[in-house]
Chains A and B, each alone.
Chain A
């Protein structure tokens, strides 16, 4: 796991450093835009660190790309709509869980959903830690 944390951290920072000139060519961008950009890159680095094996990472990537893409790309996304309605009738209590986990509604198997959830939780946690450390390092750097 430790390598995943570090990888996540490196990817996150790399994303931020690389994408910043692309996303915000003009420096004075609003805080909300910055927030969104950082948030996106955070999820992107999370998904990238997790790899394509995870349903949630793929769904995250799709979500990020969907936001960035033009609406003309919707045609390609039609296949997604075909896939989604397929649902297992016995969901148990996992309906809300599917809403929370990205791409969870496409996961039919309950066991797989739990697995994805735990994986997602792990990556979320490390992302939170990374960002906390970043913020603290920034504030420390600013203050002293």
Chain B
């Protein structure tokens, strides 16, 4: 029974596909994302061992980040604490050059944070380890730290509760960041450190904006995609952070960065993001001065990126994948190529799928009425049906072949294209069909079950197919036009 065969693969594949579904997709990204960041010049250089911790932390990142920010709100007054946590977040995310931390670190206070972040998990326990407030003096020497300090200070001064509602409070975040930025950022070389958060922030703002427009998942990567070559080196863990803490860290730098860099990159949502920021004053000017310098370091910045950068990078790659598949889907669904914008396209796709399902239902009803005895004679019907139906189906399938969806060989395409030529007999026709489509094993089995024996007829039919026939590919157009499939091609 066919249903029993289905049972088998239901039992076999159900669990494993569910289990493997996310980890394979996610861990692969993480692995890919972790490796390139080894070139980054992060101030805090964690060993390569962090790479291994990244995948494990990847799943936890999104959740831990949100909790992390919640904790920050309680400790908002403490700069050092917030800095430490964000540093940990960023450090955990990025795989940095395997430079021993002590040599790289200028501040002694960061050593404990290094050890903490080496665990590969966002830790709020680190808050207790660092001396409260003692870190601010240590930051000036390191740009990354400065960035983080700047960002954290902004968050510290602001209210974290607003962070949790990304779509409403993006403006409020910018205001908060503006206030505290000039205090910390002045006089510091933030080129390296800022690059990554800026890039990530760009993603988050753009992603947020996209979310506001209702297409977080599909459009969010639009702004980020342009920076992919820059940020690809950054660990992809940033992707998760951006998804979960969309308003998080990068908020501070985003306004200025967006105004400067995004224009170059051509992001759509930049004006939206920068307009509220324009209202900010001191912080913005301080940052603007550093922006041209930062732009030169874009590549470096991306690699050194903070946690958010890696997240946005990973998210960018993820969005690329989604857009790639959406393009294929666009080709499938008729009338979708004209539509721009994923929301409308998505609606189109949904409508199309629903219409197809309704069509199947309607056709089954029609089949029931046409054939009340439910008498399906396989031999005769297969030949007629395949000739009428699958030839047209075959005709348009070449358009649909896609590398990741249909890895089947298309050797029989040319032969199938001329399928519409009038065959001498239904049996021969059927055999021809089977012979053409004989690549998969299952079809051989079908052949046997259908009583097809000799391949000589197949050769004859195939040679007869050489007449050449143009199958008008009107499949997509007729919705309920039953006769069209058979009349659509000349026999």
Contacts and interface: CB of A to CB of B under 8 A. Distances in A.
A9 B449 contact: no
A14 interface: yes
Nearest to A120: B353
A5 B412 CA distance: 13
Contact of B412 (A2, A13, A93): A2
Given A93-B343, A137-B384, A52 B10 contact: yes
Which residue, of B214, B450, B485, has the highest number of chain A Cβ atoms within 10 A? B485
B356 A124 contact: yes
A60 to B, nearest CB: 9
A58 B14 contact: yes
A122 B243 CA distance: 31
B316 to A, nearest CB: 13
Nearest to A21: B374
B485 A121 contact: no
A112 to B, nearest CB: 7
Interface stretch (B43-51, B118-126, B250-258, B385-393): B385-393
A98 to B, nearest CB: 10
A76 to B, nearest CB: 10
A88 B245 CA distance: 14
Interface string A15-27: 1111010001001
Contacts of A120: 353
Interface in B1-57: 1-3, 5-7, 9-10, 12-14, 17-18, 21-22, 25
Given A5-B393, A58-B14, A100-B353, A48 B2 contact: yes
A118 B475 contact: no
Interface string A118-144: 111110111111111111111111100
Contacts of B446: 6-7, 10-11
Contact of B377 (A17, A119, A135): A17
A112 B21 contact: yes
Q: B interface, by DSSP: helix, strand, loop or mixed?
A: helix
B296 interface: no
A119 B405 contact: yes
- Output the residue of B5, B342, B393, B433 with the most chain A CB within 10 A: B393
Contacts of A139: 370, 482
A92 interface: yes
A90 B329 CA distance: 21
Most buried by B among A65, A100, A108, A134: A134
A35 B416 CA distance: 31
A136 B368 contact: no
Given A17-B376, A34-B368, A97-B350, A2 B437 contact: yes
Contact of B360 (A68, A117, A124): A124
Interface residues of B, number: 107
B356 to A, nearest CB: 4
Contacts of A101: 353
Contacts of B450: 10
Nearest to A123: B356
Nearest to A46: B360
Given A14-B2, A17-B377, A136 B400 contact: no
Interface stretch (B150-158, B286-294, B318-326): B318-326
A13 B382 contact: yes
B390 A133 contact: yes
Given A64-B3, A129-B485, A134-B385, A83 B378 contact: no
Nearest to A4: B408
Given A1-B394, A3-B443, A90-B243, A13 B378 contact: yes
Given A48-B5, A125-B356, A134 B216 contact: no
Contact of B332 (A24, A36, A64, A118): A118
Contacts of B393: 2, 5, 125-126, 129-130
Interface in B115-169: none
B365 interface: yes
Contacts of A44: 2-3, 6
Nearest to A128: B359
Interface of B: 1-3, 5-7, 9-10, 12-14, 17-18, 21-22, 25, 62, 214-218, 220, 243-244, 318, 321-322, 325-326, 328-329, 332-333, 342-343, 346-347, 349-350, 352-354, 356-357, 359-361, 363-378, 381-382, 384-386, 388-390, 392-394, 397-398, 400-402, 404-406, 408, 410, 412-413, 416, 433-434, 436-440, 442-443, 446, 449-450, 475-476, 482-486
Identify the 10 closest CB pairs spanning chains A and B, nearest first. A92-B217, A133-B389, A52-B9, A1-B397, A34-B368, A3-B437, A38-B364, A131-B363, A114-B325, A133-B388
Given A90-B216, A108-B21, 14 more contacts: A1-B408, A3-B437, A4-B408, A14-B449, A17-B377, A31-B368, A58-B10, A64-B6, A110-B218, A117-B349, A129-B390, A129-B393, A131-B363, A133-B392
Interface of A: 1-7, 9-11, 13-18, 20, 24, 27, 29, 31, 34-39, 42-45, 47-48, 51-53, 55, 58, 61-62, 64-65, 68, 83, 89-94, 96-97, 100-101, 106-112, 114-115, 117-122, 124-142
